[in-house]
């Protein structure tokens, strides 16, 4: 079943971009997910010894100068490096010939939950140690959360909608959903949308550790992210980017583009409960899932797979499970649900972008990625979490959830067409 919209308002995905420690492009990343490969190890970007959490999913063997002008790379933060390169990957994958497109009809919406944290730390240290004159004139452009979108627009010369979404760990899903609405409204014909994050830094770790939000399973990094399991003790930080090229269906058809799937529905809601803890009844997330499915004109039983937020924190996994069970009823017991964060760690503002890539690849290959490290399930988390090994399945409609501090929820529905 397709949406009852004209092709000019139906929105499809024609390009994917992904940067992660599990792979520096979408195909390599997806191959690692299908294989159940863990991407978490001891942090090498700084000395983690003084920190309670000493592990993360870093992007290693990465030379941004191979993908970006070295001068521009020096002027920009690591998060922008990831988002910029992933955006170019997605455009190349889409087959768009930018010099033949109308630049006024193409926009960029690549968000970041935290932005240039590394730049902030480095320049603050310069201020403290050397005084005001030591602070770089590129500090503000490098650390602000909209600059990745601006850099991509400058690279391609596109003048459509362009800004950055900031909604913590719901950022990239909000960016993708809002980009879909922009195309439906006629504000653009093509949108480059997703998220980027590079928050594996001392200040970020000190801050999250002080909240006791991060795993301290430092002796066994690869099993530290264990969503829905007994003994889960917090999230593990990841970094990277996930970006999609979205375009109106009639535009994609006219140029003979390959189509990964349709962005069929999306919703954003608030818990209005607590700044960090999700609603214990999952009301806000449940409403987001329900409204996203309504927007997709999809029934509960149409959903073939849920890519859960699944952070490996004690509260989130339990409350998300409750929300799914309440909304899906009897269908919940038959519905594959997995958390790819068990392999990727938590990319914060980029989580929804990289997880959307996983969802679209799952539809393409008809394979559900696993939740690894699930050997001792929590009795309160009693759904089919596709434990440890990927599964061949009929995957035609996928729901992806992301939640952020502040009680912000986002859900997006992808449909195979």
The residues assigned a catalytic role are 169, 309, 346
Burial profile 116-149: b = 16 or more Cβ within 10 angstroms, e = fewer: bbbbbbbbeebeeeeeeeebeeebebbbbbbbbb
Bridge partners of 409? Answer: 269, 403
Q: Is 337 helix (H, G, I), strand (E, B) or coil?
A: strand
Concatenating the DSSP letter of every residue in 108-152 gives: EEEE-SS--HHHHHHHHHHHHHH-GGGS-TTHHHHHSTTHHHHHH
User: In terms of Cα–Cα distance, which of 333, 343, 330, 401 is closest to 369?
Assistant: 343
- The Cα 191–Cα 115 span in angstroms is 21
- The Cα 388–Cα 360 span in angstroms is 20
Pairing of strands 240-248, 11-19: antiparallel
- The Cα 76–Cα 85 span in angstroms is 12
- The Cα 25–Cα 88 span in angstroms is 11
* Distance set, CA 361 to CA 27, 42, 229, 414 (Å): 9, 28, 26, 11
- The Cα 279–Cα 402 span in angstroms is 14
Rg (CA), the chain: 20
User: In terms of Cα–Cα distance, which of 318, 320, 336 is closest to 381?
Assistant: 318
Bridge partners of 384? Answer: 336
């Amino acid at each position: 079943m397709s949406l009852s919209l004209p092709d000019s308002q139906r929105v499809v995905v024609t390009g994917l971009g992904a940067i992660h420690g599990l792979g520096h492009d979408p195909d390599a990343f997806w191959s690692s997910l299908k294989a159940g490969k863990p991407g978490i190890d001891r942090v090498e970007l700084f000395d983690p010894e003084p920190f309670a959490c000493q592990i993360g999913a870093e992007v290693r063997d990465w030379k941004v100068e191979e993908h970006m002008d070295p001068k521009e790379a020096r002027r920009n933060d690591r998060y922008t490096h990831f988002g910029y390169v992933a955006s170019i990957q997605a455009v190349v994958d889409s087959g768009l010939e930018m010099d033949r497109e109308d630049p006024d009809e193409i926009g960029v919406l690549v968000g970041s939950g935290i932005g240039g944290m590394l730049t902030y730390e480095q320049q603050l240290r310069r201020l403290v140690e050397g005084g005001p004159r030591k602070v770089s004139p590129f500090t503000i452009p490098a650390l602000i959360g909209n600059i990745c979108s601006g850099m991509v627009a400058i690279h391609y010369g596109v003048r459509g909608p362009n800004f950055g979404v900031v909604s913590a760990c719901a950022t990239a899903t909000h960016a993708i959903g809002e980009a879909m609405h922009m195309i439906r409204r006629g504000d653009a014909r093509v949108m480059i949308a997703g998220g980027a994050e590079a928050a594996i830094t001392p200040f970020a770790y000190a801050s999250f550790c002080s909240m006791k939000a991060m795993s301290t399973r430092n002796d066994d990094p690869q099993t530290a992210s264990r969503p829905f399991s007994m003994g889960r003790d917090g999230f593990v930080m990841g970094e990277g980017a996930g970006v999609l090229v979205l375009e109106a269906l009639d535009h994609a058809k006219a140029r003979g583009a390959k189509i990964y799937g349709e962005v069929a529905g999306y919703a954003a809601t608030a818990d209005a409960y607590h700044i960090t803890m999700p609603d214990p009844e999952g009301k806000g997330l449940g409403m987001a899932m329900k409204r996203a499915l309504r927007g997709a004109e999809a029934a509960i039983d149409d959903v073939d797979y849920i890519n859960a937020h699944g952070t490996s924190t004690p509260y989130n996994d339990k409350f998300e499970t409750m929300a799914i069970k309440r909304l899906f009823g009897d269908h919940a017991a038959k519905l594959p649900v997995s958390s790819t964060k068990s392999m990727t760690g938590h990319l914060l503002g980029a989580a929804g972008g990289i997880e959307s890539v996983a969802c679209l690849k799952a539809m393409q290959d008809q394979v559900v990625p696993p939740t690894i490290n699930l050997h001792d399930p929590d009795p309160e988390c009693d759904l089919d979490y596709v434990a440890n090994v990927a599964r061949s399945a009929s995957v035609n409609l996928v729901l992806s959830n992301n939640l952020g501090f502040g009680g912000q929820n986002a859900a997006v529905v992808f449909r195979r067409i």
